[in-house]
Structure 1
């Protein structure tokens, strides 16, 4: 018997408001330059579902509904050992 690959995946991908790709840009100048570039690239700015992301960032959505956050902060977990 030949090994056949499944051609139909049973689960279709579907974006939600909480599926986010987050880029952390701690330098204000870099963050301020990146946000207009997102709009120029065809993203649209949307209100964050979770207000945490609006405190120090901006949320953008692509034409498929996937979201990306440009966060003006340093990524890290200070409580980690």
Structure 2
């Protein structure tokens, strides 16, 4: 059986500003870049062995704006304490500091980081239980 793959795609006004957050902070690789594809520029970041990746696109003449709320989240569950701490250290070493979560639940076992567009990523020290 072929496993499905997930692409999280969203527009941005500044692709270059997002790359350090997702590449250096979260540790993703640039999987693909494109320019001028039907009026869009874009970058895909992720890990080649992961069943997901992120795509950020920009369309000239179209303003994407910032996240509509502080509760637009991507959540990564890292149950191993050493792996979780390494992820937090990588974010901080790349210059990204945790912000208070809008929902205090996420602060109990995780840290929340905000990308340059205002979208948030939680690195949760817990296992996926569903």
TM-score by length of 1: 0.73
Note the residue ranges of structure 1 that are not aligned, 5 or more in a row.
1-6
Aligned length: 73
109, 115, 121: which one aligns with 1:62: 115
Partner residue, 2:70: 17
Distance 2:76 2:65 in 1: 22
Q: Using the TM superposition, give the Cα deviation of residue 8 of structure 1 relative to its aligned residue in structure 2, in angstroms.
A: 7.0
In structure 2, the residue corresponding to 1:46 is in which secondary structure?
coil
> Once superposed, which parts of structure 1, at least 4 consecutive aligned residues long, lie more than 4 Å away?
none
Distance 1:35 1:63 in 2: 17
Q: Using the TM superposition, give the Cα deviation of residue 40 of structure 1 relative to its aligned residue in structure 2, in angstroms.
A: 2.4
TM-score by length of 2: 0.48
In structure 1, the residue corresponding to 2:75 is in which secondary structure?
strand
Note the residue ranges of structure 2 that are not aligned, 5 or more in a row.
1-59
Cα-Cα RMSD? 2.3
| Larger relative contact order (CA 8 Å, sep ≥ 6) | 1
Q: Using the TM superposition, give the Cα deviation of residue 23 of structure 1 relative to its aligned residue in structure 2, in angstroms.
A: 0.4
Kept in 1, the 8 Å contact 2:79–2:126? The answer is: yes
Larger of the two Rg values belongs to structure:
1
